[in-house]
Amino acid sequence: MDPQLEAVRVLVVDDEESIREGTDRILSRVGCHVLKACNGAEALAILAEHPVPIVLLDMKMPGLDGLEVLRRIRVLNPETLVIVITGYATLETAVTAMKDGAYDFIPKPFDPDHLLIVVRRATEKLRLVEETRRVNEERRLTLTDLHTEKSRLRTIIESLPNGMAVTNHMGHLVLMNAAFRRLFALDAEKEAGRPIEEYIADEGFCTLVREISEGRHLDAEDIPGYELALGEERYRMAEGRPILGERQDCCGAVISVVDVTSLKLLDRLKSEFVAKVSHELRSPLSTIHEQLAVVLSDIMDVAPESDQQILARAKEKTFGLISLISDLLDLSRIEAGILCRQAQPVQIRDMLNSVTSFLRPRAEAKGQELVLELPSGPALPVVFADPLALESILGNLVTNAITYTPEGGEIRVSADAVGKNLRIRVKDTGLGIEARYLDRIFERFFRVRNDMTRHITGTGLGLPIVKELVGALQGLVEVESTPGQGSTFTVLLPL
């Protein structure tokens, strides 16, 4: 038995019985399944009933000759391998047969080994054909799967409730879903493929998308969200992430967009409510505070000490409430865009002098030194900003420095121009802030609570006000601090 030839079906077509029987014997011995036909018609009848992959076909037969049988087999089943059996005298016929699609030929008379070599070669060819067919089929199935997967992904993206868009590394929009079109009121006919600016008329948004697409924001956690106001009270919040390739190279960006109109309106209602309540509370509280002060001075020498203490604490708490209310009102005004509206040229030297002079008595009362350092060379550039906003920023930072620095400490306020920015620094030798709180101190109502700050009153709104104001002036505020040694707050404002 030969594993390669075992059970391979072979049809021998020859009018010579000795050839048929001899071939049968040789091939059956190695495991082939041999069928026999003594003329062309019989062979075609067998092949019509069950396909046989290999046919040994004599060329010279009475009735239908070999060539005709070959042509008909090719029509019946082009994949059948026909090996032509020919005498030396009919070599020419063999050549014609090969041209007509015969796979091989074997001259008569042939010995067993020669026959086996030719049939083995044919089975190898059959195996290769089968292998190729299988590989092609597998490829077709994989492609079909890929295609199905692609359409499935497309359907999912298309059905997402959030707006979703993808850009390439040049910031060209390559894909957007239905929600994205709806959120930006884009025409359904508008095809993707053009630069992002051709779809969204918001410079800041387009700049951010372009920067992310070009790989200039690789730390996804650090990418700021972007709010777009589309007019007619419509607000959108967009967030983008870079799409990184296998080698961490940026090949574009994916942008997700949600409608935040209702949140914005709710936020505004809340702010208006807070502003109204604060406003209503401020006058009566101020009156109570003033009256408490009057009563306290009136009873200074006549009332018992304990009563004086109760009234003094009430006065102190009332003052705390008044501070909270003014901070809340300031925040409402900043949110409503009122506080930064009056931009005008400000001489920063005068502004710093006035704020430090105003707060120096407070520092001196704590035995602290409040130093203003200004560059000796050319005058500081003029800043174009709302003076009230600048005053509030500096006032809050210097007040904090005084508040959170123990007696006898030092506070240094300095200003200089760096590049296109004005840099103002407020440095103290105070309590300092632990690294884990450095981001949180800019959150509303956040106060560091420990043994050293417990007795210090405050609202937790000073730094949020500073951050909002600096943001409104397109600047930024940073803090560096070492617990126990002091802090430095730096404000950068564009010139």
- Interface pick for ligand ADP out of 195, 387, 460, 494 (rule CB under 6 A): 460
Residue 404, interface with ligand ADP (CB under 6 A)?
Answer: yes
Residue 487 burial (CB count, 10 A) = 24
Q: Quick check: 393 binds ligand ADP (CB under 6 A)?
A: no
Q: Which residue of 428, 468, 469, 475 would you call a contact of ligand ADP, by CB under 6 A?
A: 428
- 475 binds ligand ADP, rule: CB under 6 A: no
Choose the stretch contacting ligand ADP; rule: CB under 6 A; options: 85-93, 133-141, 152-160, 396-404.
396-404
**The only residue of 94, 260, 380, 448 in contact with ligand ADP, by rule CB under 6 A:** 448
Residues facing 375 on adjacent strands: none
Q: Is 488 in the site for ligand ADP (CB under 6 A)?
A: no
Tokens of 391: 């005053």
Q: Which is nearer to ligand ADP, 6 or 439 (CB)?
A: 439
Tokens of 262: 């209702």
Least Å distance, CB 309 to ligand ADP, is 24
* Selected range binding ligand ADP among 89-97, 120-128, 349-357, 431-439, rule: CB under 6 A: 431-439
By beta-carbon proximity to ligand ADP, the closer residue of 179 and 411 is: 411
Contact indicator for 238, 255 with CB cutoff of 8 Å: yes
Minimum Å distance from CB 331 to ligand ADP? Answer: 11
By CB under 6 A, which span of 123-131, 211-219, 220-228, 442-450 interacts with ligand ADP?
Answer: 442-450
Q: Site size for ligand ADP, by CB under 6 A?
A: 21
Q: Which residues, 6+ apart, have CB-to-CB distance to 169 below 8 Å? A: 213, 214, 215, 250, 251, 252
Instruction: Judge whether 406 and 399 are in contact, CB under 8 Å.
Output: no
Give the span between the Cα atoms of 55 and 31, in whole angstroms.
16
For residue 7, the Cα-to-chain-centroid distance in whole angstroms is 59
> How many Å apart are CA 353 and CA 372, to the nearest integer?
8
Cβ atoms of 484 and 435 within 8 Å: the answer is: no
- Give the DSSP letter string of 368-399: -EEEEE--SSSPPPPEEE-HHHHHHHHHHHHH
Of 145-153, 169-177, 414-422, 424-432, the segment contacting ligand ADP by CB under 6 A is 424-432
List, as one string, the DSSP characters of 62-96: SSS-HHHHHHHHHHH-TT-EEEEEEEGGGHHHHHH
In the complex with ligand ADP, which residue's Cβ is closer, 259 or 330? 330
Instruction: For residue 199, give the nearest of 250, 168, 165 by alpha carbon.
Output: 165
The answer to whether residue 12 forms part of the interface with ligand ADP (CB under 6 A) is: no
- The smaller minimum CB distance to ligand ADP, of residues 167 and 405, is found at 405
The answer to whether the beta carbons of residues 237 and 260 sit under 8 Å apart is: yes
Q: Does 431 bind ligand ADP (CB under 6 A)?
A: yes
* 3-state class (DSSP) for residue 417: strand
User: Under the criterion CB under 6 A, does residue 392 sit at the interface with ligand ADP?
Assistant: no
Identify the residue among 389, 430, 469, 493 touching ligand ADP (CB under 6 A): 430
Residues lying near ligand ADP in the complex (CB under 6 A) are found at: 400-401, 404, 428, 430-433, 441, 446-448, 453, 458-464, 487
